[in-house]
Amino acid sequence: MNSNLKNKVAIITGARRGMGKADALLLSQVGAKVVVADISQEECQLVADEIKKNGGEALAIKCDVTNKKEIEEMVKKTVEKFGQVDILVNNAGICEFKPFLEMTEEEWKKTLDINLKGYFLCAQACAKEMAKQKSGVIVNIASVVMGQIGKGMAGLAHYSASKGGIAALTKTLALELAPYNIRVNTIAPGAIDTPMAASSKIDPKMLEATLAMIPLHRMGKPEEIASTVLFLASEDSSYITGSIIVVDGGWLA
């Protein structure tokens, strides 16, 4: 196993809580210098302080992934602080239920802007730096709720479309960026117990029905996604690119 990320620099979006925070903590534990990026500078700083308290290196940066200028500034600050960008974890996203017939254009646009456009902008900005050094890894976080290669879910037309787009984007970027020795993969989580989808907030009947469809009969933990991120970010996965790895407790099985 070669999961040591010593001297690697990782940017993680949506890192103030949930899966993104778990990613930041784990990657820092194995030696990566971590940029904690999200929409709240204060909450990002709390995660960065936790990493530093545990002996790691971290930089907190407020970044709205729908804003190209803020993304470019994030990458610039990262290079100024740490000298390079080796890993991008595209994790920032939203999931808001709304019946399709009631969904507004604004709600559709907001979800696609954050969940898909944001991934494109962050990947492009980071890949430009990675291309200079002829190495890099991009890990995109999608979902099992992404249509043909996953499943649909009522009330999430916009979310499902965005996650399906991430899967398609991943495969194309893997082809285009391979000449620069940049690998691009996607993780498709199932039901994960995060602040955005906490089991304590879900209607008990809906939770029971969901767990009944999962062979392991439980929600996943953010740390279980983080361990997959680490695998894809490390040399352990050096021959994997353009892949979609499902982490769902057997839901799609």
**Residue 226: which of 8, 56, 10 has the closest Cα?**
10
DSSP assignment string, 3-29: ---TT-EEEEETTTSHHHHHHHHHHHH
**Residue 177: which of 231, 228, 226, 120 has the closest Cα?**
120
Show the tokens assigned to 16: 């103030």
Residue 253, CA atoms < 13 Å, CB-side half-sphere: 10
CA distance readout (Å), 208 to 77, 191, 200, 203, 218: 45, 12, 12, 9, 10
Active site residue 159: yes
**Residue 63: which of 52, 77, 49 has the closest Cα?**
77
- Residues 6 or more apart whose Cβ sits within 8 Å of residue 22: 221, 222, 223, 225, 226
**Interatomic CA distance for residues 229 and 235, integer angstroms:** 12
**Residue 38: which of 122, 145, 103 has the closest Cα?**
122
**Interatomic CA distance for residues 197 and 199, integer angstroms:** 6
**Catalytic residue (one of 119, 159, 180, 239):** 159
| Active-site amino acid positions | 159
